[in-house]
Amino acid sequence: MKTVCMIGKPNTGKSSLFNILIKEKKSIILDMPGITRDRIYGQVKYNDKAFSLIDTGGLEKGVDAFQENIKIQASYAIDEADLVLFVVDGKEELTESDFYIRDMLMKAKKEVIVVVNKLDNKERDEEIYRFYELGFEKIIGVSAAHKKGINELLEEITKDLKEEETFDDHHCRFSFIGRPNVGKSSLVNALLKEERAIVSDVAGTTRDATDAEFYYNKEKYICVDTAGIRKQGKIYENVEKYSYLRSMKAIENSDVCVLVLDASAGIIEMDKHIAGMAIEAGKALVVCVNKWDLVEDPNQALKTWKELIKYEFQFIPYVKVVFLSAKTQKRMATLMPEIISAHENHQKQISTSTLNQIIQDAVCMHEAPSYKGRRLKIYFVSQESSEPPKFVFHVNDKGLVHFSYERYLENQLRQAIDLTGTPIIIKFKNKNDEL
């Protein structure tokens, strides 16, 4: 699938444009602060064509640590992209930061479209010609605020695409993700019952995301072994940078992600960050505690680990955990059923009548709190899409939705419907709003 990234200095309207192109505010809610990716991924569909879109942080010329991290993330996105949208502010003169980004893109030798945003009226349309000074051939004027020029931009992006691309026919595609040396390659070999992946005690042995087909209960699956994801500050070599990019791509292309933890090493912040990457990408998730053969007292360790996971992964209480050893293949039989269950729930479609009965009962048990004499009213609920399941609540005023009541409604849905292993998206829409 074609990958497009958006680059620009702060406040040019990249995120607004991103939300318009993907046709939603991408907001799978996590219970835990700090689990936000430095670049946000989404998929755009236009006239039976599709492409992957990446939004990046605002980039400025600077040397402080914060800007350096944004530059690293922007560089990753540029490397990953087939096409770059260089978003500039049509209301302002070009700045040093614009030329700094221009130089980055020239050096990268990628196809670039300069997107001049904030051209809100005909008088401002003339401003577009100023931006040829950047030296790029393709320039398109838009207004994210007024949704102007969006179709022209989409036509240019998709002109060389065929109808929406899909992966080869298969039942489920899942990837093993996690830090280096937690046993991802060993898990692949244990599933395939052959030495397909190189296994080593040296962290970083796997440098690429590799696919392997196999059959389970007469159904075809594709499992993906990914390179270990390190903390960004520890990515030094170019080869590691590209391994990281391929791991991110593997997450985007998976139906289910299996987060692999090391039973002998415990849980660190990076494990939670990697889980957040999968959830924010909208993927089903299974947690796999590997190297269970190294645990001295399995019964006591099981109790300890369950409590630890419950505490450390509070933002994903709906995810199943399996404890196994790829090396000895002990408890390996517990893995595939959980992957399959998470995949099925990720695809789940719920009838409108069932949804409305669940929410009606939930409201009867616990009405929304009133605010300044007004109370939230839910008229009806429908499922808009799946993978992950997305539910639209049609209400009198979405401004009356308190986050605690939204969480209550999600919990009621999960209690009534088996949505184990998958994130869900809840969207509130005023009765007269357009979809």
Largest CA distance in the chain: 74
Instruction: Output the pLDDT for position 242.
Output: 59
Cβ 73 vs Cβ 80: under 8 Å: no
H helix and E strand count, the chain: 12, 17
8 Å CB contact between 35 and 273: yes
What's the confidence (pLDDT) of residue 232? 55
Q: What is the DSSP letter of 432?
A: T
DSSP string, 112-165: EEEEEE---SHHHHGGGGGGGGG--SEEEE-BTTTTBSHHHHHHHHHTT--S--
Sign (positive or negative) of CA dihedral 305, 310, 311, 313: positive
Q: What pLDDT, on the 0 to 100 scale, is given for residue 59?
A: 86
Query: For the whole model, what pTM was predicted?
Result: 0.64
Q: Would you state the structure tokens that stand for residue 408, as one six-digit string?
A: 């209550």
Per-residue confidence of the chain (435 residues) as pLDDT tens digits? 788 999 999 889 888 899 899 886 543 323 333 222 356 767 788 988 889 888 888 888 865 655 676 787 788 788 888 999 999 999 899 999 999 999 999 999 999 999 999 998 776 677 788 999 999 999 999 999 899 999 999 999 999 887 655 444 457 999 999 988 898 888 988 888 765 444 444 444 333 446 777 888 888 888 888 877 766 554 444 445 556 677 787 888 899 999 999 999 999 999 999 999 999 899 999 999 999 999 999 999 999 999 999 999 999 999 999 999 999 999 999 999 999 999 999 999 999 999 999 999 999 999 998 888 899 999 999 999 999 999 999 999 999 999 999 999 999 999 999 999 999 999 999 977 654
**CA gap 380, 377 in Å, rounded:** 9
Helices within 120-233 (DSSP H only)? 122-125, 150-158, 184-192
Backbone phi, psi, residue 28, to 5°: -75, 120
Q: For residue 169, count other CB atoms closer than 10 A to its CB.
A: 6
